[in-house]
Amino acid sequence: MLTTIGKRLLTVLPTLIGVIIVTFLLTRALPGDPAAYFAGPAATKEAVEQIRVSLGLDRPLPEQFVRYVKDLGRGDLGNSLSTGRPVVTEIVSRLPASAELTLLGLILSMVIAVPLGILAAVKQGSWIDHTCRIVATAGVSLPVFFTGLLLVYIFYYILGWSPAPIGRLDAFTSAPPNITGFYLIDSLITGNFETFRASLSQLILPAFTLGIFSLAPIARMTRASMLAVLASEFVRTARASGLDNRTVIITYAFRNAMLPVVTTLGMVFSFLLGANVLVEKVFAWPGIGSYAVEALLQSDFAPVQGFVLTMAVMYVALNLLIDILYGVIDPRVRLEG
Amino acid sequence: MTETVSIAPAAAPKQSSNSVFSHAVYVVSENPVTGLAFGLFALIALCALIGPYIVPYDPLASDTAAALQAPSWKHWFGTDQLGRDIFSRVIVATRLDFIIAITSVALVFVMGGFAGIAAGFFGGWTDRVVSRLADTIMAFPLFVLAMGIVAALGNTVTNIVIATAIINFPLYVRVARAEANVRREAGFVQAARLSGNGDFRILLAHILPNIMPIMMVQISLTMGYAILNAAGLSFIGLGVKPPTPEWGIMVAEGAANIISGEWWIALFPGAALMIAVFTFNLLGDGLRDLVDPQRRT
């Protein structure tokens, strides 16, 4: 098992190198002159030149690349041009907000999509099956920012059930002490149920928005793989041996059907991490997505570069985790590895 | 298995054109949703073609006296903060969104399609370079990469098209590569080679036409995604500049009014966006049933 993980870790290296090269090239292709921007509009030519030298922008590309990689090794992603603060600090402090939102969204969509897919497969052709199909097609067609606004209109403006979309907490509640950075967990640890309730009520709409978006691929995959498993011989044998329907579906079919679903999670994460940016914008969520969007509109490239790199590294790590998880669930993969 | 299915029409073109047509009629009649998708597609294409000439108001003309009006007989979809007619803006926007999607898909079809075919056909180094490139792109969450590309190349509509094309690149490479790979030793390829055709001629004149049906399905499936992606980018303020009517940016303009109850500003462009994406997704599924019945779900 450990050697399998070790081998899988090695395959990540070329991907990571590719990611770092791409993020490096992205900033060098930037049309604007960062030195001129940094110096400000009133700067003289000499001042711009001086900054160019101090930023290392006058050196040849390969040398700049080595410097970039060295900085990365020290955990330095550069400074934001507009605020002057280090990008790393900013991203680290905002990451828990994004992570809490994305994970809750994923959990919500799994909780809905997996049973829906199973029911659709077990009762093939029934109204549940048709609902599953409509939800799956509609889910991928809905622009995630549009779903978010629609939910805000219904649940905030018409029904008044949820608070205004203004971030992680309303103005009257103070943030819980920073332990994990996840407000839900931190407030539970400190026993502050008032904060827990407040942050959950802020979180639920954006998380649902993300959930609806990732519902479709998960439900579709669950249904398809459940159908394939239900038609297989070991399920027929189990039925023929007189096991009751519940045992056959949950113990025999479900566990085998979950494997392709776990694989799909990789793709789902790609969608989720991207959709996260849009949802954060709609709900004024103080995560890394909205940080990147603000920087992007001011042509402040260091935060954007740091954001793209962070997202890519997280995505690579998640895919690695999914692969390892796959080995844990399915002993056959372990043997082959 | 797909090989036999899609090679067959090339072998007997006359007979198959008839059977493809009857199969099309069968698919549409069996699944009316696909018929609906074709109808919606015709409507969208019509709006893109003649939309700007038939709308009742100038999409850019503001009329502050009539700002923020709810939908009525005069303004079907209501008016926005500047009193512009939303119905006119939604219809006129169709062309821009359609053009962005089509050009980006055409671009990636040329880039990804040829790279993929070459990778599958030649194998070796070509394959390694192309596959590594595709893998590197896939290592990013795609929308995030698109943001990075637009940030790097500059905030213009052209760059949105390029970014959308690049993030779809791996999908096209994958399909084209797999399809070209199965055919590299096929009978008709060997026959073409025996008759003295060079590699590039075989690629363009023999393999490409054979994998076109599968690629068409891919095009239709990615059109919806391309529209979503472009609208997402303009929603966060990239690419399209404010007075221009475009669905993504119109939703963004209406976002602030949602919490004060003016739902129509964001709803109608959002719904147009949704219908367009829905149409292309359904169309892709329908085309796939037509081209490759075995992959039906």
Residue B126 lies in a domain: yes
Residue A332 lies in a domain: yes
Tally A–B CB contacts below 8 A: 155
Q: B85: which strand partners?
A: B79
Q: Please, which residues have CB within 8 angstroms of residue A100's CB and are 6 or more apart in sequence?
A: A181, A182, A183, A184, A203
* Residues A131, A233 contacting (CB under 8 angstroms): no
Of B248, B259, B282, the CB nearest to A157: B259
The answer, for A203 touching chain B at a CB cutoff of 8 Å, is no
Chosen domain end from A42, A76, A110 = A76
Q: Do B267 and A150 touch (CB under 8 A)?
A: yes
Rounded CA-CA distance A113/A224 in Å is 13
Rounded CA-CA distance A189/A330 in Å is 35
Find the distance separating the first CA and the last CA of chain A, reported in whole Å.
8
Give me the residues of A, 257-276, that contact B with CB < 8 A: 269-275
Domain housing A49 = 34-76
CB contacts, 8 Å: B266 with chain A: 146, 149
Output DSSP code: residue B140.
Answer: S
Of B132, B139, B255, the CB nearest to A282: B255
pLDDT at A333: 64
Structure-token pair, residue B170: 């791996």
Of B136, B237, B251, the CB nearest to A146: B251
**A30, A296, A304, best to mutate vs chain B, most B CBs in 10 Å:** A296
The answer, for A156 touching chain B at a CB cutoff of 8 Å, is yes
The 3-state DSSP class for residue A180 equals coil
**Per-residue confidence in pLDDT tens, chain A, 337 aa:** 677 777 777 878 888 888 888 888 877 665 556 666 666 666 677 777 777 776 667 677 777 788 888 888 777 777 777 777 888 888 888 888 888 888 888 889 889 888 888 888 887 777 777 777 777 777 777 888 888 888 888 888 778 777 777 777 776 667 777 777 777 777 777 777 777 777 777 888 888 888 888 888 888 888 888 888 888 888 888 888 888 888 888 778 888 888 888 878 888 888 888 888 888 888 888 888 888 888 887 777 788 888 888 888 888 888 888 888 877 777 776 555 4
On whether both A112 and A229 belong to a single domain, the answer is: yes
pLDDT band at B107 (very low <50, low <70, confident <90, very high): very high
Residue of A nearest to B137 (CA): A19
Rounded CA-CA distance B245/B273 in Å is 13
Residue of A nearest to B143 (CA): A274
CB contacts, 8 Å: A278 with chain B: 143, 232, 235-236
On whether both A64 and A188 belong to a single domain, the answer is: no
Taking the CA of residue A214 and the nearest CA in chain B, the distance in Å comes to 14
* Domains identified in chain A, total number: 2
On whether both A184 and A329 belong to a single domain, the answer is: yes
Q: A79: which strand partners?
A: A86
* Residues A291, A91 contacting (CB under 8 angstroms): yes
Chosen domain end from A51, A76, A101 = A76
Chosen domain end from A76, A104, A126 = A76
CB contacts, 8 Å: A144 with chain B: 232
CA dist A68 → A107, A295, B121 (Å): 37, 20, 38
Q: At what angle do helices B264-291 and A144-152 cross, to 10 degrees?
A: 140
Q: Quote the distance between the C-alpha of residue A90 and its chain's center.
A: 18
Domain housing B151 = 97-295
Residue A115 lies in a domain: yes
On whether both A109 and A212 belong to a single domain, the answer is: yes
CB atoms within 10 A of CB A284: 13
Of B144, B231, B278, the CB nearest to A273: B144
Of B254, B255, B259, the CB nearest to A156: B259
CA dist B22 → A76, B3, B30, B62, B217 (Å): 63, 21, 12, 51, 19
CB contacts, 8 Å: A153 with chain B: 258-259, 261, 263
Residue A24 lies in a domain: no
CA dist A264 → A34, A193, B144, B172, B219 (Å): 40, 36, 19, 19, 22
Residue among B227, B216, B228, B218 at smallest CA distance from B102 = B227
Structure-token pair, residue B215: 């690629």
Residue A23 lies in a domain: no
pLDDT at A335: 52
Residue B71 lies in a domain: no
What is the pTM for the complete model shown?
0.81
**B31, B144, B233, best to mutate vs chain A, most A CBs in 10 Å:** B144
- Predicted ipTM? 0.82
Rounded CA-CA distance A9/A299 in Å is 35
Q: Is A93 left (phi over 0), alpha (psi -120 to 50) or beta?
A: alpha
Q: Please write down the HEC assignment for all residues of B8-58.
A: HHHHCHHHHHHHHHHHHHHHHHHCHHHHHHHHHHHHHHHHHHHHHHHCCCC
Q: What is the CATH number of the domain that holds B133?
A: 1.10.3720.10
Of B139, B150, B236, the CB nearest to A281: B236
On whether both A116 and A204 belong to a single domain, the answer is: yes
Structure-token pair, residue A196: 């827990």
* Domains identified in chain B, total number: 1
Taking the CA of residue B231 and the nearest CA in chain A, the distance in Å comes to 8
On whether both A237 and A130 belong to a single domain, the answer is: yes
* Residues A207, A201 contacting (CB under 8 angstroms): no
Token look-up 């059907």 returns A257
CB atoms within 10 A of CB B273: 29
Q: Do A278 and B236 touch (CB under 8 A)?
A: yes
